[in-house]
Amino acid sequence: MDIRMAVTDLDGTLLRGDKSLSTYTLRMIERVRAYGILFVVATARPIRTVKSISALRFDAGIFHNGAVVYDGAACVGKAGIENPREIALRILRDRPDCGIGIEAEDVLYENFDAGSIWPGLSYTYTRDFSELSGKTADKILVRAGSAAELESFRAYLPENLYIQLSENAVGMVMNRAATKLNGIRCLAARHGIAMEEIVAFGDDLNDVEMLRGCGCGVAVVNAPPQVKEAANTVCAEGDADGVARWLEKNCVRVKAGRLAGGLAARRAE
């Protein structure tokens, strides 16, 4: 398989436990890009927190689990949530103590302390989400600590939205068109890349679809069983530079070998 695009999740996959990247991983990313392989991040994170990762460079980004897609500096895809405030208020009428967050226009509005889940995360506190009147959201977050609790929120959602558990702490509510795989398809079409020419790396339930949908799906070794079952193979965890080591072995060395072989053949002519 000739890999032309590499797509990776961030937290729990490319990043180390302290949310940093090693010098080796950064070097491998640049070598992959230098060989013409499109390097894409696919994450549930908003754009602002990805930009805060020191020295990370990428060609395209899939943010909010696919609600926002960027190709370079251009936004090329959006799948938002209309009337997010109405959904939040509907939940709060029945569950006044429910912790809810709404991402819109790259700002997080929450009625609880977001730092209790994501230490250091910046957000705007709100009581009634009046700031969201008339706005379209990228994502709605609800505090949910189990799959059973997550299921109880489905009754509040219109048919065009879905909810998915993340980090065993929050339910992410998104437009059904907002998935990492749909973001990958959008970017692949723009660059004339076949799905078979794409490798995807992930570690969580929201990565399963893209692991199955790309030519090669690689799960982190400590991912849940259902994630590893969806993958073709596994790599080491972020603290061991697993994604970078896989890329070096299967992309960088392969490209370098071909280049060396081509040069040798031309010299022999």
Q: How confident is the model at residue 240 (pLDDT cuts 50, 70, 90)?
A: very high
DSSP string, 92-145: HHH-TT--EEEEETTEEEESS-GGGTSTT---EE-SS-GGGTTPPBSEEEEE--
Q: What is the pLDDT of residue 263?
A: 47
Topology of domain 84-175, CATH: 3.30.1240
- Sketch the domain layout of the chain as residue ranges: 5-78+178-268, 84-175
Q: Averaged over 20-39, what is the pLDDT?
A: 97
Q: What is the pLDDT of residue 163?
A: 94
Q: What is the pLDDT of residue 268?
A: 52
Q: Quickly list H helices, the chain.
A: 23-34, 47-51, 84-94, 147-151, 180-191, 208-213, 225-230, 242-247, 253-268
pTM of the complete model beyond 0.85: yes
Contacts of 121 (CB under 8 A, 6+ apart): 49, 108, 114, 115
| Dist CA 183 CA 206 (whole Å) | 13
Q: Which two tokens stand for residue 168?
A: 């065993």
Question: How much is the mean pLDDT over the chain?
Answer: 92
Report the percentage of the chain scoring pLDDT > 70.
95
Per DSSP, the three-state class of 171 is: strand
Window from 5-19, 44-58, 226-240, 249-263 with minimum mean pLDDT: 249-263
Q: What is the tens place of the pLDDT at every residue in 50-74? A: 999 989 999 999 999 999 999 999 9
Q: Classify residue 175 as exposed, middle or buried by CB count within 10 Å of its CB (0-12, 13-18, 19+).
A: buried
Q: What is the tens place of the pLDDT at every residue in 90-141? A: 999 999 999 999 999 999 999 988 777 777 788 999 999 999 999 999 999 9
Q: What is the tens place of the pLDDT at every residue in 150-178? A: 999 999 999 999 998 887 778 999 999 99
Q: Give me the architecture of the 5-78+178-268 domain, per CATH.
A: 3-Layer(aba) Sandwich (3.40)
Sign of the CA dihedral with 123 first, then 124, 126, and 132 last:
negative
Q: What is the pLDDT of residue 166?
A: 80
For residue 114, the number of C-alpha atoms closer than 13 Å in the C-beta half-sphere is: 19
